[in-house]
Amino acid sequence: MYQFTDFEYLNTLNEEQKVAVKTLHGPVLVLSGAGTGKTRVLTTRIAHLLMTQTTKPWNIMAVTFTNKAAREMKERVSSIIGSAAEQILMGTFHSLGAKMLRQHAELVGLKKNFTIIDVDDQLKLIKQILSNHNIDEKRLPAKLFLNIINSWKDKGLTPDKISDNLTNSTNNEKQIYQEYQIKLLQSNCVDFGDLLTQPLELLRTNTDVLDQWQSKISHILIDEYQDTNTAQYLWIRLLCSKTNNICCVGDDDQSIYGWRGAEVKNILSFSKDFENAKTIRLEQNYRSTKKILEAANCLINKNNARLGKNLWTQNNGDENIEISSVYDSSEEAINIGEKIEEKIRDNKKLSEIAVLVRTISQMREIEERFISIGLPYRVVGTKFFDRLEIKDAIAYVRILCNSSDNLAFERVINTPRRGIGSTTIKKLLDISRLEDIQLFHVGENISTYENINLPTKDKINKFIKQINEWKTLKFTQEPSELIDMVLEETGYYEMWRNENSEDANTRIENLKELLISISKFDTLEGFLQHVSLMTDNETNNITGEVTLMTLHASKGLEFEIIFLPGWEEGLFPSSRSLEDSGDVGLEEERRLAYVGITRAKYEVHISYASSRRIHGLWMSSFPSRFLKELPEELSSKVVVSDYNLYDENINYDYQNQTSNPGYGPAWKRFSNNTNYKQKLFISSNSPKIKEISNDEFKKGDRVFHIKFGMGRVANANGDKLEIHFDKAGNKKIKSNFVEKK
């Protein structure tokens, strides 16, 4: 048990951090800039609540967005107060929502052993519903309805709360949502969104439950408050309304997840939402150099929707932000690779270097370049539990834990193939729907159905018998050993062994890795809960590799050296964000740029191309407006390319393009925009392709091509040229497509 001390743990905090830690009552917003030690403040504040005997550990709720953050928080609190940290109600919004839901499952028509389904299973359910309504999925795909349903759940809207102005009646969106929820309930399943909406409904509609939780929780602490959506916000408001002892830590300048439901207004309106709220700003940065912070401050100060703060540091550094102009994405990838090789020669660790891109499509060329020069790298984003073989194995786990799980049953009944085809499965689904019973129970009573032939009945009976035998072994056998047995006895291992390929071997290795994961849990149910609540951004770079990831995935991380490619209008800021959300979208894009810059400790390298291949077409582009917002005295410009297809002296009309609905990276409507025609691309001294007589070209001539750049003529035969390009290799091109230099 923790003991009262002289609070020596406060000695490591600066003055602003101490104020945040010591302010223990009432609503508190800790506005924590990048690299200002928010995790230390949050964990020390929890410890201080207990060390001052303000409350008991079981009366504290601490909420994070990832399991990794929750584990780190618990470890840090434990280092101060010891084992008492185990009694704190600590976890993600979804894990805490699941805990509340399991405790009161019967009040929403669920059993306590409900299954949490994933996206694939959500889509299967919706496809079944669309088929029942004879809705053409080519015209109205299941993913469309899923996105709509998820967005409603992010807002805390159950089917009965969907107003007519939120739905398209011709598409039956509300009805699909209602039937989807009914099917989930019948299967004793919930989806990820239900872990927010169902607990919210519990508190809204059951005063006894609300009183119970309000009495239980005296203090609430929320990490990354700027990333909360409406459902999370409403849930927290209800839980803390009795004591009003809520501390939210966040940074409005790092609110970058609006596209997945996050509402920056939650943090911006904190002082209005909570009476007598106190705002504490953490502005001393312990990560980046002074020049990096000053540049980031200048950039983010262009945003209007922000509470305002100014990061500062005692870390001096000589390096300006480097801004490189390149001809195209290929040259950009080559330039990044060369710079990283220079860092290696300077004894920099690869694990301290990251390339952060705006879109996943930017990664391909960079990856190919890294492979060609033998540069070790890793891509953040591949999800182990999304792999085919892992999903199949987990479906077996699910059916052993919850025989009412129709989606799991449908996935495994013919995996591996056991002669139960799609026609039979459709018959089983029809019986399940017409008789309002679960697929597993249809299987148990398969002998009573005349529309199923005898050989198929025997196969189904055998399968049901196997499942029941495995379910019995759940209580006597180690979870990992049981699943290993299931995969062996079903022939699942044998299926991949028979394929006898490298891919199949990898899949078997993945399954063995899954067993290791299962072995860490006492029950299969505990393992399933863990898998369902895992987030996709938990990474640990322990090897000597350059990290390649999106800007969105980089939030919360730090590296010594950062590369930021693709800073061009339309790509960054994204034209889609500007078209969909106007100035609101632009400000979120600027926050994303701010996040990217503030990941760096010592060096930031930004690059932009004058042409880039978009949707298979080569498009000219011009520098991102964000580059203009960086102070010239804090940046150093490097011209990598021999040719620039823009004029740096032109004052581009960025503001007009923000509100212009025709603006986009593909620029399909570009030709109709006279403003662009007047202000973009070719300056008076830029290269222009011209008509040249064939006899002007001879072997050895230097030439320029709009796509491939500089090259030398290897052979000339009339208007047909063989050219060795400096960076694109050998090409055969007609003479009227190149310019002699």
Catalytic, 642? Answer: no
Q: What is the layout of strands, in order, in the sheet containing 738-740? A: 729-734, 720-725, 709-717, 702-705, 738-740
Terminal C-alpha separation, the chain: 80
Helix (H) or strand (E) holding 365: helix 363-372
Q: What pairing do the DSSP bridges indicate for beta strands 60-64 and 89-92?
A: parallel
Q: Give 648-709 as a DSSP string.
A: TTS---HHHHHH-TT--SS-TTGGG-HHHHHHSS--TTS-------GGG--TT-EEEETTTE
Phi-psi region of 491 (alpha: psi -120 to 50; beta: other; left: phi over 0): left
**Do 159 and 174 form a contact (C-beta atoms < 8 A)?**
yes
- 223 catalytic? Reply is yes
Active-site residue among 22, 23, 39, 719?
A: 39
- Residue 541, token pair as written in the block: 């770079």
Residue-wise over 180-190: b if at least 16 C-beta within 10 A, else e? bbebbebbbbb
The count of other CB atoms within 10 Å of the CB of residue 581 is 15
Q: Residues with Cβ < 8 Å from 175, sequence gap 6 or more? A: 133
358 tagged catalytic: no
* Dihedral sign from CA coordinates of 710, 716, 721, 727: negative
What's at 652, amino acid-wise?
Y
Whether residue 224 lies in the annotated active site: yes
Task: Give residue 38's identity as a one-letter amino acid code.
Answer: K
Active-site residue (options: 38, 74, 174, 287):
38
Q: Which of 43, 228, 230, 254 is catalytic?
A: 254
Active site residue 38: yes
Q: Are strands 219-222 and 115-116 parallel, antiparallel or unpaired?
A: unpaired
110 neighbors 207 (Cβ within 8 angstroms): no
Q: Are 369 and 333 in contact (CB under 8 A)?
A: yes
- Residues 121, 154, 191, 224: which is the catalytic one? 224
- Measured N-to-C along each axis, helices 15-22 and 38-51 cross at an angle, to the nearest 10 degrees, of 40
What HEC string does 532-561 produce?
Answer: HHCCCCCCCCCCCCEEEEEHHHHCCCCEEE
Q: Active-site residue among 45, 599, 601, 625?
A: 599
Region of residue 99 (left: phi > 0; alpha: psi -120 to 50; beta: else): alpha
User: Of residues 179, 191, 194, 223, which has the active-site annotation?
Assistant: 223
Q: Is 39 a catalytic residue?
A: yes
Q: Which residues are catalytic?
A: 38-39, 223-224, 254, 599
